[in-house]
């Protein structure tokens, strides 16, 4: 599994998949830097798991640079980077949005990960790992999610290009990750708005946040080296089996 000496920097760490992932890595012996805008949430989580809370808006490159270097200084380096922060809004049909509606979405979903990569990747040692959390929406058009679909598609391609450019040169591994439809606050928003079929999913049909956390932990270990440079889907039965997560057909 993941290198126990590798400190983790994770964005969007205050709740949902980010929180579950931070908890798992800390439980498995990793030092963890928690980046998010929700100060109280990450401070509480940091106290609970022994992590480092760093308030940070990923859309602000200066704040990202400072957070990355603070993480490296206080954790003794960075070995794993997980770009998990993301936003869904605006949730509206294409012709009902304006370019200004898209601004925050693109800043968080595309430029945020780019800022983290620009400042964190040069600090990674050989064997370091990058995971960019994208979405199935990057590959499937959904009514009302034009900004989200487009920005996550951009993130997936950014991931693939980074892998081509830097993976061999720096001796690191780079993955995109599609976590599936998971029981998070985003799905609460979707059920309230019901702009497309995702909002019709009942809560009991959603996967727990612990599953994507466990799969990402697997990706950080040497056993997943053959998947380097790929966009890994949490619904893939082979991936789930290798990560020790119940295969969907077996899990219901």
**Which token pair is 225?**
């080296």
In the annotation, is 134 catalytic? Answer: yes
Among 14, 146, 152, 217, the active-site one is: 152
65-71 CB contacts, 8 Å cutoff, 24+ apart: 65/115, 65/119, 67/33, 67/35, 68/9, 68/116, 68/119, 68/120, 68/123, 69/119, 70/33, 71/7, 71/9, 71/33, 71/35
Among 14, 146, 148, 217, the active-site one is: 148
In the annotation, is 70 catalytic? Answer: no
136: Cβ–Cβ under 8 A, 6 or more apart, which residues?
A: 178, 180, 181, 233, 235
184 CB burial (10 A radius; 0-12, 13-18, 19+): buried
In the annotation, is 126 catalytic? Answer: no
Among 71, 134, 146, 156, the active-site one is: 134
Residues with active-site annotation: 134, 148, 152
């Amino acid at each position: 599994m993941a290198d126990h000496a590798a400190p983790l920097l994770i964005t969007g760490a205050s709740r949902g998949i980010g929180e579950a992932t931070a908890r798992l890595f800390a439980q498995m012996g990793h030092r963890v830097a928690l980046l998010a805008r929700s100060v109280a949430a990450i401070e509480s989580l940091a106290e609970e798991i022994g992590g480092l809370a760093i308030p940070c808006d990923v859309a602000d490159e200066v704040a990202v640079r400072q957070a990355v270097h603070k993480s490296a200084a206080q954790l003794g380096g960075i070995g794993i980077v997980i770009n998990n922060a993301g936003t869904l809004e605006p949730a509206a049909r294409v012709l009902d949005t304006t370019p200004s509606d898209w601004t925050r979405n693109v800043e968080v979903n595309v430029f945020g990960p780019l800022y983290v990569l620009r400042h964190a990747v040069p600090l990674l040692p050989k064997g370091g790992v990058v995971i960019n959390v994208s979405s199935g929406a990057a590959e499937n058009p959904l009514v009302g999610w034009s900004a989200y679909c487009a920005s996550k598609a951009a993130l997936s391609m950014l991931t693939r290009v980074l892998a081509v450019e830097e993976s061999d040169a720096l001796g690191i591994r780079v993955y995109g990750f599609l976590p599936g439809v998971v029981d998070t606050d985003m799905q609460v928003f979707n059920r309230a708005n019901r702009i497309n079929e995702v909002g019709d999913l009942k809560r009991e049909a959603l996967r727990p946040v612990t599953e994507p956390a466990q799969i990402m932990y697997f990706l950080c270990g040497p056993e997943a080296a053959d998947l380097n440079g790929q966009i890994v889907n949490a619904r893939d039965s082979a991936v789930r089996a290798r990560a020790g997560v119940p295969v969907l057909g077996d899990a219901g």
